[in-house]
A and B are shown apart, each in its own frame.
Chain A
């Protein structure tokens, strides 16, 4: 078994997790952890207080099984500019410590769309470049795997089972197409509700536990001229789906949603229509800032940061932008979306964002896999998330969190780590279904269609696709 090296001691990963669980102090975390164990693979430990002196990454940076025999440059196309710095850092450390012949050349496209078009062109042309490709779970992963354009991680995991165990199981599940893991996550993150603690205090409000609580808070804030929730539904095609995913997660209908996505169950079942009804109810509830489909992420952040709204429904990946926009006196908190049904659990949407895979035509597949292992393995994941404020791709130890907190200095980071294991998925694999869902949710938000009509149109789109040529999960 591979061990995790701490300062002055060696400790098994299992032991470290046990210690972490014991050190978890927040009661909600303990409540969630039992449920989460089956769903996502265990809870995150809370950070231990940092001792005096500078801490070091407590995990050993393991060397590769394969090294380059001559100078080799691996090309890597990704779409998240703010990840470049840390990716470069890890690649340079890898070169310095393990394989001086290997360099990583990163191309960061301005956005996912641009990168996807570039990758598609390269793959269609049977290009061996890029060696490493960043993809998103869902339709993108299906596209590249179903066309045989990328390699799967079966052999890598067979050779290094410890590496596989380092990922949250549900994150890998999202990347499992036709039984093969086609990509591995670099980070994970959650969709939660940020809130202005100062405003809540000022108006005597408590963090809501149930949907009714949230509606009451909304009414109280509206009466005082404060927008309850800034929700950037106009940001991209995914945002209008958040409320639906939230409801599906909160009613444990996410598995049913997956089956419907794969054409195995109808979208018109009462459970899935109820999700559309929830979207409609939320749009009419007066909780959102006006015209959510006309609100983009920077607008919503500005509304929230200037105190015009008390809450902001968004993702962990926005943490940097939010932090940059907030005045120093702003007291920021976060909470999971309240239970959407009586007695239900609080749904936290989880996603894996950027994931890494190897081009099937790469001339250096083994070196590319080793580089991905460096970026996403036990040592890499701690460095990777240290300054980004995103959650790692799997559990990390309390001492690792303490190490990260030295430079991150973000009190919300451990809160995110606690929520991550409770997350439910928010991915649709069939492009036509995703399109129909996006348009349908927009129609619900603008009041153009009824929930039943929307789900019927989604079902029609699903049936038009016919039998799927892939299995997911």
Chain B
């Protein structure tokens, strides 16, 4: 390419570069560089205290993770978190959005109430639910006993069989309001003439929801699901505060394992390897989601 042409093109796009430049610099400094740094660190041994990294160990940290029972347990728990939380959060959010999209007497109040957990501090939420789940005096067991279901009273967070479902339930409770708000905005943006035409053609409420609203809402539902999946994969604080990954790793997820390896066991290389895997998984899911969305849009257009 001739220099004059390059200069011309550069001049044509100068404003664009000027506007995006600062954002790109910030992105590179605070996102790309740390990701690259972590990836490089994952190929080393380091205790996190000594100023210099330990020796280059290649893929040894990844190999160690592949042979680590706890890693697979944490991976499985993270998958369970995604598989259980996302449908519940999106499904409940959608149902509530459909309900609140109707003309109800206390619609504004209900919207606010469902959104309150989203804006509540996570620490406060976890402390409240620790008390709710407390086996001896907690609200849940007290309630079950009061209604004659004392046999169901259980040490919810103290039993490996129930600890993960109990934590996921809190996560759904905390985040369903967020899905609700996005989906409600989506519902309110649907073309009313199309829905009205369906009604005139004799579609009942069930058919309208299933055949018209749900397909029209697919992009918004996909976005909500993507946000929920990414949120589930990244979950750390809720688990860390409520159970610290226990008992016996029953609630350990990739993020809590990463923390434990980095700051309790001083395996910074292994922790970085987990971080790299987590980033790769999140990016892959986002990519798959984008691909599915594009295919779906192209299918509709055709």
Closest to A110 in B: B123
> Which of chain B's residues have a CB closer than 8 A to the CB of A237?
244
- When the two chains form the complex, which single residue of A120, A290, A306 contacts B135, counting CB atoms closer than 8 Å? A290
Task: Judge whether A227 is part of the interface by a CB distance below 8 angstroms.
Answer: yes
**With A and B bound together, what is the CA distance between A465 and B195 in angstroms?**
66
The DSSP consensus for interface residues of chain A is helix
Instruction: Check A439 against B155 for contact (C-beta < 8 Å).
Output: no
Closest to B155 in A: A291
Closest to B70 in A: A439
Give the residues from 114 to 160 in chain A that come closer than 8 angstroms, CB to CB, to chain B: 116-117, 120, 123-126, 139, 143-144, 146-149
- 18 A-B pairs with CB atoms under 8 Å apart are A124-B48, A144-B49, A147-B47, A147-B50, A230-B136, A291-B136, A293-B158, A293-B159, A293-B246, A293-B247, A298-B131, A306-B137, A308-B137, A442-B246, A442-B248, A443-B247, A443-B248, A446-B159
Beyond contacts A147-B50, A227-B136, A290-B135: 16 other A-B pairs, Cβ-Cβ < 8 A, are A117-B263, A123-B49, A125-B51, A144-B49, A234-B246, A290-B155, A291-B156, A293-B158, A294-B156, A294-B157, A295-B158, A299-B130, A299-B134, A303-B137, A306-B137, A446-B158
Instruction: Report if A303-B160 is in contact (Cβ < 8 Å); known contacts: A124-B49, A147-B49, A432-B265.
Output: no
Task: Judge whether A315 is part of the interface by a CB distance below 8 angstroms.
Answer: no
- When the two chains form the complex, which single residue of B248, B249, B266 contacts A431, counting CB atoms closer than 8 Å? B266
> Which of chain B's residues have a CB closer than 8 A to the CB of A149?
49
Instruction: Check A291 against B135 for contact (C-beta < 8 Å).
Output: yes
> Which of chain A's residues have a CB closer than 8 A to the CB of B48?
120, 124
How many of chain B's residues touch chain A, expressed as a range?
20 to 34
Instruction: Check B136 against A289 for contact (C-beta < 8 Å).
Output: yes
Give the residues from 132 to 148 in chain B that come closer than 8 angstroms, CB to CB, to chain A: 133-138
> Which of chain A's residues have a CB closer than 8 A to the CB of B156?
291, 294
Closest to B249 in A: A439
Instruction: Check B47 against A294 for contact (C-beta < 8 Å).
Output: no
A interface footprint on B58-101 (CB within 8 Å = 1, 0 otherwise): 00000000000000000000000000000000000000000000
Closest to B135 in A: A291
Residue ranges of B at the interface with A (Cβ–Cβ < 8 Å): 47-51, 130-131, 133-138, 154-160, 163, 243-244, 246-249, 260, 263-266
**With A and B bound together, what is the CA distance between A464 and B157 in angstroms?**
30
Task: Judge whether A374 is part of the interface by a CB distance below 8 angstroms.
Answer: no
Cβ distance A228 to chain B, nearest Cβ, rounded Å: 12
> Which of chain B's residues have a CB closer than 8 A to the CB of A431?
264-266
Instruction: Check B160 against A302 for contact (C-beta < 8 Å).
Output: no
> Which of chain B's residues have a CB closer than 8 A to the CB of A291?
135-136, 154-159
Instruction: Report if A236-B244 is in contact (Cβ < 8 Å); known contacts: A116-B263, A117-B263, A148-B50.
Output: yes
Instruction: Check B50 against A446 for contact (C-beta < 8 Å).
Output: no
Give the residues from 155 to 174 in chain A that come closer than 8 angstroms, CB to CB, to chain B: none
**With A and B bound together, what is the CA distance between A435 and B155 in angstroms?**
23
Cβ distance B291 to chain A, nearest Cβ, rounded Å: 38
The DSSP consensus for interface residues of chain B is loop
Nearest 6 CB-CB pairings of A with B: A291-B155, A294-B158, A291-B158, A291-B135, A147-B49, A293-B158
Task: Judge whether A292 is part of the interface by a CB distance below 8 angstroms.
Answer: yes
**With A and B bound together, what is the CA distance between A172 and B19 in angstroms?**
60
Instruction: Check B248 against A439 for contact (C-beta < 8 Å).
Output: yes
> Which of chain B's residues have a CB closer than 8 A to the CB of A442?
246-248
Closest to A117 in B: B263
> Which of chain A's residues have a CB closer than 8 A to the CB of B265?
431-432, 435
Instruction: Check B263 against A293 for contact (C-beta < 8 Å).
Output: no
**With A and B bound together, what is the CA distance between A443 and B248 in angstroms?**
6
Instruction: Check B49 against A296 for contact (C-beta < 8 Å).
Output: no
**With A and B bound together, what is the CA distance between A448 and B160 in angstroms?**
9
**With A and B bound together, what is the CA distance between A117 and B259 in angstroms?**
10
**With A and B bound together, what is the CA distance between A287 and B215 in angstroms?**
58
Instruction: Report if A299-B137 is in contact (Cβ < 8 Å); known contacts: A123-B49, A446-B158.
Output: yes
Instruction: Check B47 against A296 for contact (C-beta < 8 Å).
Output: no
Cβ distance A81 to chain B, nearest Cβ, rounded Å: 15
**With A and B bound together, what is the CA distance between A438 and B246 in angstroms?**
10
Closest to B48 in A: A120
Task: Judge whether A202 is part of the interface by a CB distance below 8 angstroms.
Answer: no
**With A and B bound together, what is the CA distance between A230 and B51 in angstroms?**
44
> Which of chain A's residues have a CB closer than 8 A to the CB of B50?
124, 147-148
Cβ distance B39 to chain A, nearest Cβ, rounded Å: 18
**With A and B bound together, what is the CA distance between A306 and B50 in angstroms?**
49
**With A and B bound together, what is the CA distance between A303 and B163 in angstroms?**
21
> Which of chain A's residues have a CB closer than 8 A to the CB of B130?
296, 299
Residue of B135, B160, B243 with most chain A CB atoms under a 10 A cut-off? B135
Instruction: Check B155 against A294 for contact (C-beta < 8 Å).
Output: yes
> Which of chain B's residues have a CB closer than 8 A to the CB of A439?
246, 248-249
